[in-house]
Chains A and B, each alone.
Chain A
Amino acid sequence: MSHISTQTCNIKTVNEAVLQQAIEMVVQQFPGMTVDKHILDFDHSKIPVDCALHTPKAHRGVGLNWKQTLLNRLEFTGDDWNAGEEFEAIRTALVQAYQAVAVNRAMTMLGYQVSGARAGANLVVAGVRV
């Protein structure tokens, strides 16, 4: 018997190798995105974060923190003034990319030949083991 299941999925404790790969995927997805270590607040003062993703629309940056958070949970921070949709799109893309990278690595650890693809708004990871 085989089955189909649906799961909800949260990033509980950040795996930095997975996050790094996820960030690389998201950078390719958003034209003009740059990565550094600070976001800008309302008066353009720099606020240090573990990682910041800037785009032309979200120029103040989407900040990511995990090194000092409780249980190394991933937290998003930043001033999304006038860039709320972009901010949310980046956050969503990063979580989705993290999940895809994690699934890819998990299947590989279990001995599957893994491939990935985008299908509309979804990411599909398929593993085959003979």
Chain B
Amino acid sequence: MAAKKITVTISPDGKLHSDYDGFDGEACFQEAEKLAQSLAQQGLDMTVVKVDPKRREQELRKLETSQKVGV
């Protein structure tokens, strides 16, 4: 099973940029919802302003690249 990875980049203006990798189907959106709930427990209130689903080709290309470099 491929590893699931979430990378969150936090900019000084308070915006969070989240990148979900390795999730099947709608699982990434479910995981995003879990993360939002978990963040709420830490006192953070998130509002999603933009979502870009990754195309299958993008994911395959990324997977091929990581396999070539042995990641």
Contacts and interface: CB of A to CB of B under 8 A. Distances in A.
Interface of A: 1-15, 18, 72, 92-93, 95-96, 98-103, 105-107, 109-110, 112, 119, 121-130
Nearest to B51: A5
Given A2-B22, A92-B12, A7 B42 contact: no
Contact of B42 (A4, A102, A119): A102
A5 B41 contact: no
Nearest to A108: B38
A2 B38 contact: no
Contact of B50 (A5, A72, A122): A5
Contacts of A112: 6
Contacts of B16: 6-9, 99, 103
